[in-house]
Chains A and B, each alone.
Chain A
Amino acid sequence: MTDSRLGRWGRAELRSPRPLLVILIVVLVGIFASLKPMFLNGPFSISPLITTISIFTVVGLSQMMVLSVGHMNLAVGQLAGISALVMGACFQNLGMPLLLGLAVGLVVGTALGALAGWIIAQTGVNSFIVTLAMNFTLLGLIPTLYSSWSTGQAFTVQPPGFTTLGTGTFADFCLGDTCGSNAVPLLVIPALVCMGLVGYFYSSTRVGRETLMTGSNIQAAELSGVPTRRRLILVHAVSGLLAAVAGFMLAASTGSFTPAIGSEFMLPSFLGPILGGTLLAGGVVSVIGTFLGITLTSVIRNGLLLFQVGIEALNVLLGVILLAALATDRLRLLLAKRRPPKAEESAATLAAELEDAEGNR
């Protein structure tokens, strides 16, 4: 039973864009490494790359949460920014310890995300507009608060443990004589935790499955007794929470809380999930895909930076990648539709599905 299930899962994975992403990443890393051996330098190249991937994977997951119900969150960056602001103020002005300040910041991000979700669920207004308006409101609020709460538009006080978490690597931890690699930063831990929790939420919890159902057909979900409004508010709240985590991670990696936190989050937040096969229409998510999508764009970005390619050319390239990825996805869908289903194959799949359903009962 498990075997055929695993097989079907494997076949579905193979049909998804994810294998292509893995191949592309491997090929690109190979090319970059052979042309510039510097690319494989642990502490100077790989460690920053993994830090970037960790932060932006959390950003991508934040967007993926709302994409799972067919919504968008244009305020990802500003939610991260306001949470970082609150954390910084807690550390600097109130002298809070690391965990307490972090918790307050996460609560602010979650609450603002939930507020956006509540407005969308209550009024039925397009999520795009609600989060866009929230984005601009926060865009106005953040610099104002920074200038009134801090001196010099930034919080630089670092509570104990902050720098270790932000810039430390596994080399700091030793078991006997064997130490961890200095190429793997500690920031990888929060990213892995977030990926694990979000993956578990969608694959194995009742609420997660109900959320996906809400995304794929809200009316059917409503009629099946799913409290769709609460699911909508939930995904926006979790999206705010993840944005806050990403804001904290970015602040920890750079060592200070500034108004610039989050300003670069919007495009990557869409790039990751969409490259990884998450549908804009909702109902389909992929945590691994989001991770792979972010990894691909980060590898391209960091690799080309080694070749002294300017930021402007990178911007153009990232935009082109997004369009090309979506266009090929579209093309694949069209080709798949044109090919008639093979009789024996579909019968076999049907049988396997039935068998599986029997087993689950």
Chain B
Amino acid sequence: MKRLISANNLLLLGVVVVGAALLGSATGGTFFGPVSMTAFFTYLSVPILIGLAQMITLCVGQLNLAVGAIGGVAACAAGVMITSWGVPPWVGGLSTVLIGAFLGLANGLIVVGTRINGFIVTLAMTQILIGVQYGLVGTRTYGSSAWSAVTSFGDAKILGIPNVFVLTLLVAGVVALYFAQSVSGRRLLASGGNAHAAELAGISIDRTLIVAHTLSGLLCGVAAFVTLAILPGVNSSIGGDWLMPSFAAPIIGGVGLAGGTVAVLGTVLAATVVRLVDAASAIFKFDTSAVNFVVGAVVLGTVALGRLREVQAARRASALRSKRAEAALAEVSR
């Protein structure tokens, strides 16, 4: 509970509230209208899911550059399966989760099997998967009319909240529980925090790496399912712009890059902040590239500030220690 109301989360919550209020007053209240709110929450789902996917790999000290490529391949494969092979819409739609998990597993196995830096493995994997995605759909767009059962789920609402957003919050809740309560989740955190200590404590680092990459891929698959449910079709551009948001959400949300920490609520709130910037750009007609600029600058600022704070805290702690030592020395010499 204490970790839920951290300073970072309160700050982010404040930014969300103030930002939403500003947007509301700037648009004369239409921002809070049902149409605008539905769109806001519907398109918030994917950033949260890919942010969580990235968070899981960051937690064990790895990276997943293939977030967008895995999601893109999963969504396109499902689209092709349903449209061309006549697979039932729901089976095809949910197969995205399996495809995502499988590709994540492949990442994990390569990382463990070859001991190559996870960055390079997922970079190469991205390249391969972008090729596969293009090979699947080419320049065509597969229209969502073929899986209208899934899209009607995506369009529907529970108590005014879009289904996909409810699904996203459920997934976020499960991820939070996984890291807070399950043995496997605690193992991931332990191996990310100090791999050597974790190994000595009997945790298989290889296994945690594979689990982390698989789960990351699985969440990309869920994001692909949401994409399938809310977009009018899938083509080779799906997933192309996922990389930055996937890093922005956990980093702004307070996940350390060195591994060993997770912040599910922070990630969700940070994704919301990024989504607010997006919404603002649509309302005030900013250039989309200007949004990229702002988000990039904010990520850089967050990382730099966090690191400076860490350094200062360490300095303060060591100053305190030396003061204590001096006092003790003075005591002894007296």
Contacts and interface: CB of A to CB of B under 8 A. Distances in A.
Q: Do A and B come from one complex?
A: yes
A80 B16 CA distance: 36
Nearest to A130: B300
Interface in B282-319: 287, 289-297, 299-300, 303-304, 307-308, 311
A22 interface: no
Given A123-B304, A323-B124, A314 B131 contact: yes
A176 interface: no
B332 interface: no
A148 to B, nearest CB: 10
Interface in B90-132: 110, 114-117, 119-121, 123-132
Nearest to B291: A140
Interface residues of A, number: 44
B127 A144 contact: no
Contacts of A316: 127-128, 131-132, 135
Contacts of A135: 296
B244 to A, nearest CB: 5
Prevailing SS type, chain B contact patch: helix
Contacts of A138: 296
B225 interface: no
Contacts of A128: 63, 119
A319 B303 contact: no
A144 B290 contact: yes
B299 to A, nearest CB: 5
B251 interface: yes
B162 to A, nearest CB: 28
A144 B289 contact: yes
Contacts of B257: 125-126, 129
Contact of B304 (A119, A136, A319): A119
B114 A326 contact: yes
Contacts of A314: 131
A140 B134 contact: no
A163 to B, nearest CB: 30
Contact of A267 (B127, B293, B299): B127
Nearest to A312: B134
Nearest to A331: B114
A143 B286 CA distance: 13
Interface string A132-150: 1111111111111001000
Given A123-B308, A140-B296, A319 B127 contact: yes
Given A72-B119, A267-B123, A280-B117, A313 B299 contact: no
A316 B135 CA distance: 10
Contacts of A226: none
Contact of A330 (B116, B135, B289, B293): B116
Contacts of B126: 319
B300 A280 contact: no
A166 B183 CA distance: 61
A274 B126 CA distance: 17
A93 to B, nearest CB: 20
A330 B114 CA distance: 7
Interface in A235-265: none
Contacts of A267: 123, 127
Interface in B243-282: 244, 247, 251, 257
Contacts of B128: 315-316, 319-320
A359 interface: no
Contacts of A134: 296, 300
Contact of A311 (B114, B134, B291): B134
B127 A315 contact: yes
Contacts of A143: 287, 289
A129 B303 contact: yes
Contact of A326 (B116, B129, B130, B291): B116
A137 B293 contact: yes
Contact of A130 (B119, B125, B303): B303
Contact of A323 (B121, B129, B294, B308): B121
Contact of A137 (B119, B296, B311): B296
Interface in A261-304: 266-267, 270, 274, 280
A327 B114 contact: yes
A124 interface: yes
Interface string B122-156: 01111111111011000000000000000000000
Which interface residue of B251, B257, B299, B311 has the most chain A CB atoms within 10 A? B299
A104 interface: no
A327 B311 CA distance: 38
Contacts of B121: 323
A319 B69 CA distance: 13
B307 A319 contact: no
A319 B65 CA distance: 13
Nearest to B135: A312
Contact of B290 (A140, A274, A320, A327): A140
A207 interface: no
A280 B115 CA distance: 12
Interface of B: 63, 110, 114-117, 119-121, 123-132, 134-135, 244, 247, 251, 257, 287, 289-297, 299-300, 303-304, 307-308, 311
21 contacts: A72-B119, A129-B247, A132-B299, A133-B296, A133-B299, A135-B296, A136-B295, A137-B292, A137-B297, A138-B296, A139-B289, A141-B293, A144-B289, A270-B120, A314-B131, A319-B126, A319-B129, A322-B127, A323-B114, A326-B114, A326-B120
Given A136-B292, A315-B127, 11 more contacts: A124-B311, A140-B290, A140-B293, A270-B120, A316-B135, A317-B131, A319-B131, A323-B116, A323-B124, A330-B114, A330-B115
Interface of A: 72, 119, 123-126, 128-130, 132-144, 147, 266-267, 270, 274, 280, 310-320, 322-323, 326-327, 330
**A-B residue pairs, 5 tightest by C-beta:** A140-B292, A140-B293, A315-B131, A137-B296, A319-B127
